[in-house]
Amino acid sequence: MIKLTKTERSWVLYDWANSAYSITITTAIFPLFFGQIAREGGLSDTASTAALGFGNSLFALFIAVLAPILGTMADYRGRKIRYFRAFLFLGTLATILLVSIRPGAWLPAIIIYMLSAVGFAGANIFYDASMIDVTTVDRMDEVSTLGFGWGYIGSTIPFVISLVIIFLMAAGDLSVLNLSAVRIAFLITAIWWLAFSIPFLKNVRQKYGIEPSPRPIRDAFGRLYETFRHIRSYKKIFLFLIAYFFYIDGVGTIIKMATDYGSKMGISFTVLLVDLLMLQIVAFPFAILYGWLAKKTSTRFMLFTGICIYTLITVLAALLPFMGPGALVPMFIFVSFLVATSQGGIQALSRSYFGALIPPDQAGEFFGFFDIFGKFAAILGPLLMGMATQLTGSYSIGIGCVIILFALGAFFLVRCGKVED
C-alpha cells in the first residue's frame, strides 16, 4: 500500500465521509424506510418499487443535464472547490430534512431524497475531478481504490451506530422500523458526512485549470459545445464513456435497488441490514486488491473482471424468486458477497482509468461528461427495472434486464483499447 501525501489523505477522507450517505440513504435504511411509509400511504409493493426507481431516475436526469455545464465552469481556476462546497451543503441539509418525514408521506420523502441525492452526486463531480489535482497518473489507480476502500470502512461506523439504535428501539419487533430510530440514523449520516469533509475543504486546492473569463457562463457553454462537437475525435475517451454508460448502469441499479429487491423477496430487515454491514467490511480489502491487481495486470483487465462478476450477480439475483425458503437467504448472502468483491473496485478503476485518459486542464469538463454518462445510465437502469416490474409483476424479469447492459459495456470496452495505445 502506497504512502499518501497530506492532500491525497484529505481527498481519500472524503470517500470516508460521503460513503455514510451511500449505505444509509442510497442502499440500506432509506429504501427500507421508504417501502414502509409507502405501504402506510396506500402503495402496493410493486408500486413503491416503481416509485423509488422513478425517483432515482428523475434526480439522475437532473444532475446529468447539469453536470457537464458545471464541470466546464469549474475548470476556471478557483471554481472547483467552490461548487463542491455548494453541493456538499445541499446534500447534507436535505439529508437532515429527511428527519421531518411523517408516516405515509411517501411523496415528500422521495422529493427530499432526490434533493439529497443531487447534492451527493453534484459534490462527487468535483471530488472526482479534483483527483488530478492531488496525485499523479501513475498513482491514480491506487489512490482511487484506497478512497473507495477506506470509504467502506468509514461508512460502517455511523451505519453500525444507526443499526444499534434501530435494534434497541425496535423492542424485539423488526418487522416495522421505528420512526424515531430512522430519524436518528439520518441525522448521524448528515453529521458524519459534513464533519469528515472538512479536511478536503481545508487542504485540497485546484491545481489545473484555465484563467477565469469575464463571461464565465456564456464562455462555459461555448467551450462545452466545442468539446461536445469534437468529442468523437477523442476516440478512446468517447468509446470508454459509451462502455461506462452501460456497465455502470448495471452496477448503479444493483446498488440502489438491491435492498428494496431483497425485502420484496421476503428477506427480513435484520438479515438485510446485517448483510449490508458484512458487504461494507468485505468490500474494503477487495477494493484495495483491485488497485493492486490493476498494477500487476492492467486497469482495463480488472474492469473486465468486474463486469464478468456483475453479470454473474445479475443472473443469480434473477433466480432468487425461484429459490426455496431454505436456500433464499444463503443465496442472497452469497450474491451480496460477490457484490462486495467488485463494487468498489469497478467504480474506483473507472474513475482512475478515465482520469488517465483526459487532459488535466479540462478535468472538470471531462468529468462532467463522465458524470453525465454515468447519470444517464442511472436513469435507464432503475427505470428499466421499475417498468419491467410494474408491467409484468415479476421482480425476476425486472432485475434480469440488467444483464444486457453489462454485455454492451464489455463490448465497447473491448473497442476502447488500452490507455497507453
pLDDT at 356: 84
Count of domains for the chain: 1
Q: Is residue 378 part of a domain?
A: yes
Q: Is residue 15 part of a domain?
A: yes
pLDDT at 204: 92
pLDDT at 284: 84
pLDDT at 56: 77
CA distance 228 to 234: 10
165, three cell numbers:
439504535
C-beta of residue 263 within 8 angstroms of C-beta of residue 32: yes
CA distance 56 to 53: 5
Consecutive 10-residue averages of pLDDT for the chain (421 residues):
86 92 84 87 81 80 76 75 93 96 90 93 86 86 86 86 87 74 94 96 84 64 67 79 89 76 76 79 87 89 94 88 81 88 88 84 71 66 75 76 88 76 49
Q: What pTM, to 2 d.p., does this model score?
A: 0.73
The owner of cell 416509485 is: 51
Angle at the Cα of 276 from the Cα atoms of 106 and 147, rounded to 5 degrees: 105
For 252-271, give one letter per residue: b (16+ CB within 10 A) or e: bbbbbbbbbbbbbbebebeb
CA distance 349 to 93: 30
pLDDT at 417: 65
Q: Is residue 1 part of a domain?
A: no
Nearest to 121 by CA among 155, 88, 97, 148: 88
CATH of the domain at 38: 1.20.1250.20
pLDDT at 69: 75
Side-chain-facing half-sphere of 33: CA atoms under 13 Å: 28
The owner of cell 428499466 is: 384
Give the per-residue SS3 of 41-81: CCCCHHHHHHHHHHHHHHHHHHHHHHHHHHHHHHCECCCHH
pLDDT at 220: 61
For 116, 265, 271, 387, the CA distances from 46, given in Å and listed in that order, are 24, 12, 21, 10
* Residue range of the domain that includes 132: 6-205+216-416
Q: Is residue 210 part of a domain?
A: no
CA distance 257 to 184: 23
Q: Is residue 368 part of a domain?
A: yes
Q: Is residue 175 part of a domain?
A: yes
Angle at the Cα of 374 from the Cα atoms of 236 and 292, rounded to 5 degrees: 65
C-beta of residue 351 within 8 angstroms of C-beta of residue 318: no
Q: Is residue 211 part of a domain?
A: no
Phi, psi of 210 (to 5 degrees): -110, 165
- As a whole number of angstroms, the longest Cα–Cα distance in the chain is 67
